[in-house]
Amino acid sequence: MRHMSLSRARLVPATLLAVALLAAACAEEDDTAGTNASPSGSASETADACAKENLQTHTAGKLTITTDKPAYEPWFVDDAPENGKGYEGAVAAAVADKLGFTPEEVVWTRTKFDAAIAPGPKDWDFDINQFSITEERKQAVDFSSPYYDVTQAVITTGASNAADAKSLADLEDLKIGAQVGTTSYDAIVSVIDPSSKPAVYNTNDDAKQALENGQIDALVVDLPTAFYITAAELDDGVIIGQLPTEGGEQEQFGLVLDKGSPLTACVSAAVDSLREDGTLDQLVDEWLSQAGGAPVLQ
């Protein structure tokens, strides 16, 4: 009896160690697979690699695209990304087409922001949801080439304290809000730098409610959203103006892919060719045309 229990006591840690070593072996294997698949080479080299049958998509033969729920106008229409309407809906459809997928081969899913940037395995190929490209964020995810140059804008209602604001200085002493997780929030902090802390909401819908209630004086959103909200959603909505870009750096939206995704190079190539052949400009005209001039605040 004594002898047996002793040998079992030795056996258990030994087995666990073996399991750990096995996991380590798998880890190495996985790493090499990752490096092999990582994007490399010029456009001519990738042309063949980006043929539809060579793409390592999440589901073979399908392109799985994801966005947040609800998906807002003017980026999507009717919260139905699969209809190809709205600027991002149309860009996603155009990218899928460039990669050789028919509309029937495109699968749409919904992913919350935190899940999109988490390190775990992804059950989609790319996420299109007004993700701004920054160097810091590139350490956690892959971005495609940019598909839209965006600026931030300040909006309010005619009844608000901010209705007469004409400059950044006029905004300084007001209560300003933004949606959490947006570069709009960063713009409030870095460009306006208001005296009272910005209010931060889960969604732009909540922020709009607070604006209508007078709980905040103004709201910062991206310019196309600003045009949509002031025209279609707010009573007596007003765009005060665009915010100057911080450090003169143009903010751009990119498609988000898993870090080290084998598709990044091909998706980027597709976006690049859409820009070069004028498709992106055409889609901007079609879906974001009213998002034209608003004075840049000084």
Partner 1 sequence: MTVPAQAVPELSAAQQDRLRYRRGQARRSRLLAGVSTVAFLAVAGAVIVLSPGWSRVKEQFLDVQVARDSLPAIAEGFWLNLRILVVCAVLIVVVGLGVAALRTLRGPVFAPLRIMAAAYTDIFRGMPLIVLLYIVGFGVPGLRLSGVPNAPAVLGSVALVLTYGAYVAEVFRAGIETVHPSQRMAARSLGLTYGQTMRRVVLPQAVRRVTPPLLNDLVALQKDVGLISVLGAVDAVRAAQIEVARTYDFTPYLVAGLLFILLAVPTARLADWVNARAARRQQAGGLV
**Site residues (CB under 8 A) for partner 1?**
9, 12-13, 16-17, 19-21, 23-24, 26-27, 30-31, 113-114, 117-120, 134, 136-137, 139-141, 177, 180-182, 185-186, 197-202, 206-207, 209-210, 212-216, 259
Find the shortest distance in angstroms from Cβ 249 to partner 1: 15
CA dihedral over 94, 126, 271, 150, signed as positive or negative: positive
In the complex with partner 1, the residue whose CB is nearer, 79 or 212, is 212
The C-alpha atoms of residue 182 and residue 203 are separated, in whole angstroms, by 10
Q: Which is nearer to partner 1, 37 or 49 (CB)?
A: 37
Least distance in angstroms from the C-beta of 181 to partner 1: 3
> What are residue 218's DSSP bridge partners?
176
Q: Please, what is the Cα angle at 242 between 237 and 243, to 5 degrees?
A: 130
Give 119 or 247: the residue with its C-beta nearer to partner 1: 119
Q: C-alpha angle 240/246/248, rounded to 5°?
A: 105
Could you tell me the smallest distance in angstroms from the CB atom of residue 160 to partner 1?
Answer: 12
Shortest gap between Cβ of 79 and partner 1 (angstroms)?
Answer: 20
Among residues 9 and 232, whose Cβ is nearest to partner 1?
9
Measured distance between the N- and C-terminal CA atoms of the chain, rounded to whole angstroms: 85
For partner 1, the closer CB: 236 or 285:
236
Which lies closer to partner 1 via its Cβ, residue 263 or residue 288? Answer: 263
CB of 209 to partner 1, least distance (A): 5
CB of 200 to partner 1, least distance (A): 5
Taking the complex as a whole, the smallest distance from the CB of residue 144 to partner 1 amounts, in Å, to 15
Q: 17 vs 47, which CB is nearer to partner 1? A: 17
